[in-house]
A and B are shown apart, each in its own frame.
Chain A
Amino acid sequence: MKIYFPFLLVLLVSCQQGFLEKKPDQSLVVPSTLEDLQALLDHDLTLMNEVPALGLIASDELYTTQEGYRAFIHPAERNAYHWAVELYEGEPINDWDKPYQQVFYSNVVLEALTDIPVTQTNNAQWEVLQGSALFYRAHAFFQLAQLFSAPYGQDQALGIPLRLSADVKKAVRRASLEDTFSQIIQDLEKAENLLPLTSPYKTRPSRLAVWALLARVYLIMENYSQALDYARKFLQEQRELLDYTELDTSQSRPFPSDNPEVVFEAVLTSYMFTISSQVYVDSLLYQEYTDGDLRKSLFFKEGEEGYLFKGSYTGNFYLFGGLATDEVFFISAESKVRTGDIAGALKELNELLQSRWRPEDFVPITEAEPEALLSRILEERRKQLVFRGIRWQDLRRLNQDPRFALTLERTLEGEHYTLPPEDPRYVFSIPEQEIQLSGIEQNSRK
């Protein structure tokens, strides 16, 4: 009896493999099937397909009146508008929180996938999910890096915390900027091989979206040959542009919701300034759109004291913040001119512009001088990609080149504010909650 007793116990436990893995409540949705995981990633415009908007309020694309300024609700939009050192006044901000929620959801999906065996039948869906999660994570990291890290290229610069596991209690420190970008590229390169060329829903990632994002990432890194490489891959498959002549300029939302140029649909986080009728396009910028340029009336409408933006590629009141073909044309053109392909650059530029102009007024660009052409491309880029949050990323990038460096200026309630190139205020501070709870290093804006 004495001998058998422990033996019995061993027998008992060995029979109980998985005994403790039983779900305590059958109705708990413990995301474990591929459908569950897809559902997590389909939490679309209010989470997975949302991008930060604070770059837009700090950029030179817009201005507001005193009244408009006072109507801003969140301290972040008020303070970012005139580049104050203190930004959030203790409030949390979606621009930090939402991308990290995307990272969290992606990590949950990536970890759950490892528990789902790949079979012949689920193979395709499994890969799409893994690719999607990697894309979302890289996309979020990229957006965060554009707000909360120094512009790429600065030595020893800090990146962002790279959360690569779903463990919410795990402490993660800020990675270097270099590592941040390698992580983004690594995730995207992996996703490239897993995702289909296009996806049935434009809120879901696709290989086109991966290429568009990689092209943008390399452009930001000023690696023009790689940027061109991905732009080329993209444009080989997708060159369809929206013919602006077919749009009704009198509409309050002129762009269709099924815009063929869009490859990845995302929206900017909503703030008061994104919907305010007192936030106007920069008046100098508005003057850049000459007559015959359809964008002048498709993108803007007259407001009380200036021109209001109405040209969101979402086709509704959300500002578009996703990836679209027009941007890839510009990445291609810019990379080509920077790598010496003048003819190629002109071809891309004219193909795009042709669809933006009234045909009778369109005059193709023939500028052959590289420097002048580059300036022209950047100017057209700014005019095409307006109110998408991209301008902030461009300012950070181009400020490093004395040819394009700008000092931004604002006047508000009699005060004059400036933001010189490469100012530390080009890097947003990390919200206070994050600093207090995780102890990571804060950015200095002084």
Chain B
Amino acid sequence: MIQRFLLFITLLFSGFCQAQESVTGKVFSRVDKEPLPGVNILIKGSLQGTVSGLDGSFSLLARPSDTLLFSIVGYERESVALNGRTQLQVSLPEKAAQLKEVTVYSTGYQQLSRERATGSFERLDREQLNRRVSTGILSRMEDISPGLVFHREGRERDFSIRGRSTLSANARPLIVVDNFPYEGDLSSLNPNDVESITVLKDAAAASIWGARAGNGVVVITTRKGKVQPKPRFSLTSHLTVIEKPDLFYPSRMSSEEFLDMEQWLFTRGFYKSAENSPRRTPLTPGVELLIAQREGKLSKEALEEEWEKLTRNEVRKDFERYFYRPALQQQYALQLRGGTSLYRYFISLGLDNNLESLQENSRERYSLSARNTWHVLNQKLEISLGVYGVQSQWQLDNPGPGSVRLSANAPVYPYARLQDGVIRDYRKGFVEQASNQGLLDWHYRPLDELSASPHSIRATDLRLTGGLQYLFPGGLKASVLSQYFSSDKTEEQLHPLASYYTRDLINQYTERGKDGELQRHIPLGGILDQRFQKTISQNLRFQLTYEKNWKQHQLSLLAGYEVREQVHQSTVQRLYGYDPELTTHQPVDYQSRFPRYHYPASKARIPHRDGVSLLTDRFLSSYANASYTFRDRYTFSASVRKDASNLFGVRANQKGVPLWSAGLAWTLSEEAFMKPLDLLKLRLTYGYNGNLDRSVSAYTTATRFGSNVRYQLPYAVIANPPNPDLRWERVRILNAGLDFATRGNRLSGSVEYFAKWGMDLIGQQPLPPSSGMNHFRGNSASTFGQGIDLKVKTLNLKGAFQWQTNWLFSWIKEKVSRYEVPALAKNYIQSGATGLYPLEGKPLYGIYSYRWAGLDPQTGDPRGYLEGQASTDYAAVLNATNLETMVYQGPARPVCFGAFRNTFSFKGLSLSINLTYRLGYYFRKNSIRYNNLLSGNVEHGDYRKRWQQPGDETFTQVPSLPERKNTNRDQLYLYSEALVEKGDHLRLQDIRLEYQLPIEKLPFHKAKVYLYANHLGILWKATGTPLDPDYRQTKPQRSLSLGFQLEF
């Protein structure tokens, strides 16, 4: 105190007697030592001052005792006492640098510091997101965010946050990009433009998104400008090589086994009906040989010789050779970033060029984004403008091996040789004969089809964002934000006259007139299929925020109103007789039914593909959010939102039961008794999120039919009764979390417990018949789920050699707690894993089976249970199996999952190894379907392991070859307990090796190179089958990437 007093006196005194002198100096950024232009410099206690120049230099007149105040957006204020100096070097610490330990969450409505958050947020920064190398952004979130899991069976990019809280509604988390829901194709986002991703997991975090928050929210924030003296360029690029897919991964019968089967079927007269079929049913070369020999056209020796040749063919080898190549992915991004206190900008160019595994197929993506921010009116008004344009082009000419078939219902025979042409759709003799009779060449040569039909998709996305934000004195801020998004997608496939598709279709609709003249009902020429899709969404948001900090209080309030419309239009059309040179086409008769050349008795109309659809979603929403912190220790937050939409019913819109949440946090580490810990914080939240189901409508909907029984009048059947009560599904979430960090962050992380109650879920509800409907799809079902998310980071070694471990663990247990109309046992057993059939008390995705009584030791027949006894009365066993007697084996989705990542670094070198695991779930193996085999189709390789003689039942579960087709026998075996396996496994997911170049000797600000290897393989699995439990159809392809990142 005395010192201060003395200082004050000195200053006062010196002020009188000292004259002003010229003071010059330079302002730098503390971190990168770059000069800072545009810094406000003010003499403390006066209005005099200046602004630093482009090189950071400044000069002004001041008394030697003056104190200078330096301020600029993005940096900490600094005050420097001259103490008589006339030359100054001032370095300002960056705000971000100072807040290094402070994580900022973005909810899409506000920025929230981690200290004041009560909810469950997960922030993934640029470094974390860039660890994995990929074309798209979403897959980069895998294995670094607890609770988030990608489902590998089914649709590839499906992922969920903390399980599933709906039955039939949209189960996908809401994706928000720069404040607004993103409706475009996520693969068109350039990952290099992404600054951070915040995952909103609980009610307090997500309920601000109201009726769309039920599945969790992923908020993607793109990069923006930054105040720095010099514009900074960065160039990143990587090259990825992906191995060819392994076509021998799914088990299948060999060519020899299949040929033996054909011979067996032939001796039993199986092919007789096909031989005599008026439909010209195709027969494989093996069967044709047998016919030729039977008819005396081929000697026994010649047959054996030909037969031997066929056994040596293997079509999968041909596919690997002619259809596939190692895929190659290239990505380049050039970015420019800079700004002053008045204007900041970020400009990014991206180019992706992928050569896909399938030859001829490729993907290109060009992206351009520019984000500008101006601070005007004394920094009170912020104007922002963003433009994002992406152009993607897919080339999909190669239709893949699946396109090579014997017929629409039968796969290709395993001994086909692609270069020789493949029998398809019709018998060989017929094809040759027809081609000689003036029809178009009817042969099918798959290798010619590889690039015969140019197939492309071109998509153009445009996103424009604009915002105005005005800061009133006292902490009130008003903002208007808007976004316009449009996506145009054109898919085009031309089947030229030379393609098999077109030749075949024209030939089918060729008729031989009475005079022998050929009449073609489909004109000669190409067939052009086109699909145009256009999505336009518009958003407008008004928002008021108020922030005030006083004494030990921090208050933050937010309220807003939002309008949103999204229109999705699509048009499909087909042009016949198309000439790409002239872009002309010719009309066809869609009405008449024509006899088809290969089967004149069956008349058909020319395929008609035209259609139009128009979908409109509209929302009006209002929301508010408040948070209050006392003494940096106690935080209370609350959020409320009300949505109205044209998808909801009148009453839901009017009544408007709002979705809300509330949360509490207590930072114990601020308390005196907890000082030894860097961070210890308890969080508790509770509230409701919503979800939408588009499969139901608030309106009465009907299906129209052509003609009624009595007078052939058009009539309509009501499909969906009116539902004015229709409302969003709700998910009630309780979340309790603990964040911790020891001194120096040796051990840090968080653990969270959550419980989720899915309420008012759309489900089947029985109605009293007097209502006129038996069932009703409405808000009637419920689910319950609970789980734990754990995230731990340990710094095992510090110093020159560093070793860090990140451990993610998630446990989730879910069940359908109310569903009023159970399905049949058969539905659960055959489709329980698809999630289509909810059953009370069980998880939505479950594996159910018929009880398995093993193989009959005498016959090798599969056996089930009938009234407690082993039985081969298949129809009775299947019928008698009900909800009580079917076997529930367990969930089809992992109950525990996570990742274990170790990072070692030494100087600029770092190595990171990621292990992932999934536990507690089951899957059903595929096996042989004898019905298919006895229909002459190649089948599963379990054929080799089938029961063949008494005693085999001791080592195999694969039933014997039956005498004749028996669907129920197949069903019992394929859906029995015998084929269910545990899915638990540990996987070496990926390895990344990175080297940060020492920049001292280089003209760069930052430079690094890296090597990344993905999908490295399974280390341990519970099942003894060779299958990867998560990739049972196709093995994940290993990949290797090489990349660099430069900043200058």
Chain A interface residues toward B at CB < 8 A? 1-2, 5, 8-9, 12-13, 16, 19-31, 36, 39-40, 42-46, 49, 92, 96-97, 100-101, 103-105, 107-108, 111-112, 161, 163, 166-170, 172, 201-203, 265, 431, 433-434, 437-438, 440
Contact = CB atoms under 8 A, between A and B. Distances in A.
Contacts of B618: 19-20, 22
A24 B723 CA distance: 14
B770 A105 contact: no
A27 B613 contact: yes
Among the interface residues B714, B715, B774, which one has the most CB atoms of the partner chain A within 10 A?
A: B715
Contacts of B620: 13, 16, 19-20
Given A39-B716, A43-B716, A44-B710, A25 B615 contact: yes
Contact of A104 (B542, B615, B704, B773): B773
A104 B772 contact: yes
Given A28-B701, A31-B702, A42 B769 contact: no
B699 A23 contact: yes
A138 to B, nearest CB: 16
Interface string B642-678: 0011111000010000000000000000000000000
Interface in B451-471: 470
B164 to A, nearest CB: 23
Nearest to B769: A97
Interface in B605-658: 613-618, 620, 644-648, 653
A434 B615 CA distance: 38
Contact of B613 (A26, A44, A101, A107): A26
Interface in B690-739: 694, 697, 699-704, 708-711, 713-718, 721-722, 724-725
28 contacts: A1-B472, A9-B561, A13-B620, A25-B613, A25-B614, A26-B614, A28-B701, A29-B703, A29-B716, A36-B702, A39-B714, A40-B718, A42-B708, A42-B715, A45-B708, A92-B769, A104-B771, A105-B772, A108-B700, A108-B722, A111-B722, A166-B721, A168-B771, A168-B773, A203-B708, A203-B711, A433-B766, A434-B769
7 tightest Cβ-Cβ pairs between the two chains A and B: A104-B772, A438-B768, A39-B716, A26-B614, A437-B768, A168-B771, A42-B715
A169 B773 CA distance: 10
Contacts of A96: 769-770
A167 B771 CA distance: 8
A201 B776 CA distance: 33
Given A20-B644, A97-B774, A105-B718, A44 B709 contact: yes
Given A24-B616, A43-B708, A46-B709, A16 B563 contact: yes
B544 interface: yes
Nearest to B776: A168
Contacts of B80: none
Nearest to B563: A12
B112 interface: no
Given A29-B704, A172-B770, A265-B710, A23 B715 contact: no
B211 to A, nearest CB: 13
B770 A108 contact: no
Interface of B: 470, 472, 478, 540, 542, 544, 561, 563, 613-618, 620, 644-648, 653, 694, 697, 699-704, 708-711, 713-718, 721-722, 724-725, 766-774, 776, 778
B700 A30 contact: yes
A265 B768 CA distance: 28
A202 B711 CA distance: 9
B716 A36 contact: yes
Contacts of A2: 472, 478
Given A5-B544, A104-B771, A166 B722 contact: yes
A431 B769 contact: yes
A2 B470 CA distance: 11
Contacts of B697: 24-25, 28, 30
Contacts of B644: 20
Given A27-B613, A92-B769, A100-B769, A20 B653 contact: yes
Nearest to B694: A24
A325 to B, nearest CB: 19
Nearest to B560: A9
Contacts of A26: 613-616
Given A24-B616, A168-B772, A30 B701 contact: yes
Contact of A30 (B617, B699, B724): B699
B478 A101 contact: no
Contact of A29 (B617, B701, B773): B701
A97 B710 CA distance: 22
B348 to A, nearest CB: 34
A24 B617 contact: yes
Given A24-B647, A29-B704, A161-B770, A5 B542 contact: yes
A198 B711 CA distance: 16
Nearest to A202: B710
A116 to B, nearest CB: 14
A201 to B, nearest CB: 5
Nearest to B714: A39
A25 B617 CA distance: 9
Contacts of A92: 769, 774
A122 B467 CA distance: 50
Contacts of B544: 5
A9 B542 contact: yes
Among the interface residues B470, B563, B700, B766, which one has the most CB atoms of the partner chain A within 10 A?
A: B700
A43 B717 contact: yes
Given A36-B704, A101-B773, 5 more contacts: A24-B617, A24-B694, A26-B616, A42-B708, A42-B713
A168 B698 CA distance: 12
B613 A23 contact: no
A337 B216 CA distance: 78
Nearest to A40: B716
B214 to A, nearest CB: 18
Nearest to B719: A29
B545 to A, nearest CB: 13
Contact of B770 (A42, A112, A163): A163
B710 A45 contact: yes
A9 B543 CA distance: 11
Contacts of A433: 766, 768-769
Given A23-B699, A39-B704, A42-B715, A101 B722 contact: no
A3 to B, nearest CB: 12
Contacts of B708: 42-45, 203
B771 A1 contact: no
A147 B470 CA distance: 74
Contacts of A39: 702, 704, 713-716
A25 B472 CA distance: 44
A201 B714 CA distance: 13
A145 B472 CA distance: 73
A242 to B, nearest CB: 19
B718 A434 contact: no
Contacts of B540: 12
B763 to A, nearest CB: 14
A438 B697 CA distance: 24
Given A25-B613, A42-B708, A167-B724, A103 B769 contact: no
B772 A22 contact: no
Contacts of B470: 1
B700 A112 contact: yes
A437 B478 CA distance: 53
A100 B772 CA distance: 5
Contacts of A105: 718, 772
Contacts of A30: 697, 699-702
Given A40-B718, A105-B718, A22 B646 contact: yes
A31 B716 contact: yes
B918 to A, nearest CB: 37
A107 B544 CA distance: 47
A49 B710 CA distance: 10
A74 to B, nearest CB: 15
Contacts of A5: 478, 542, 544
A43 B644 CA distance: 35
